[in-house]
Amino acid sequence: MAPLSGELSPKVTERLSQICCDLSVSASPSHLPWEGRLWNCASLWLPLVGEAFQEILTQKKLKKSDVIRNSGIDRGYAYDILSDKKQPSRDKVLLLCLGASFSFEEVQTLLKQTGYPMLYARIARDSAIIFAFRHHMSPIDTNELLYELQFDLLS
């Protein structure tokens, strides 16, 4: 019998993780109480990006079409993201946020709510992106800044 130390053995942890993942993949969403939510195999409920993004767009009275046009993301792919058909990369989420002219605080809240790593000033690339949000830069201007600083572009 395992000691009552508060930690699970790696074997038990791996098995529990597998059970969670099996549940999230094999179950039919229409029969689940968490329909419309992402189960991330670590017992966390995460709002989907489109759902969380739409809440902020509604508060700011912005139109999806304008945000998508400003973001520079392919229109079809962006609509798939906003309708929760696609799970985008963090960079795509940041491009949408730049296209919507979100404040830095709104971006951090969205990233946190949806399970993406928040922007962290001690990471040089993130620091440049924070600068872009704080100075209300467009996605194109942000990518020019990243290019000048020799960082990977938002794509």
pLDDT in tens, 39-80: 444 445 667 899 899 999 999 999 999 999 999 999 999 999
Arithmetic mean of pLDDT over the chain: 82
User: Per this entry, what is the length of the chain?
Assistant: 155
Question: Tell me, what's the pLDDT at 34?
Answer: 43
Question: Tell me, what's the pLDDT at 47?
Answer: 75
Which position has the higher pLDDT, 142 or 39?
142
Host H or E run for residue 98 = helix 90-99
Q: Is 90 helix (H, G, I), strand (E, B) or coil?
A: helix
Percent of the chain exceeding pLDDT 70 equals 70
Give this prediction's pTM.
0.71
Which position has the higher pLDDT, 116 or 11?
116
Count of Cβ atoms closer than 10 Å to residue 106 Cβ: 16
15: Cβ contacts below 8 Å, ≥ 6 apart: none
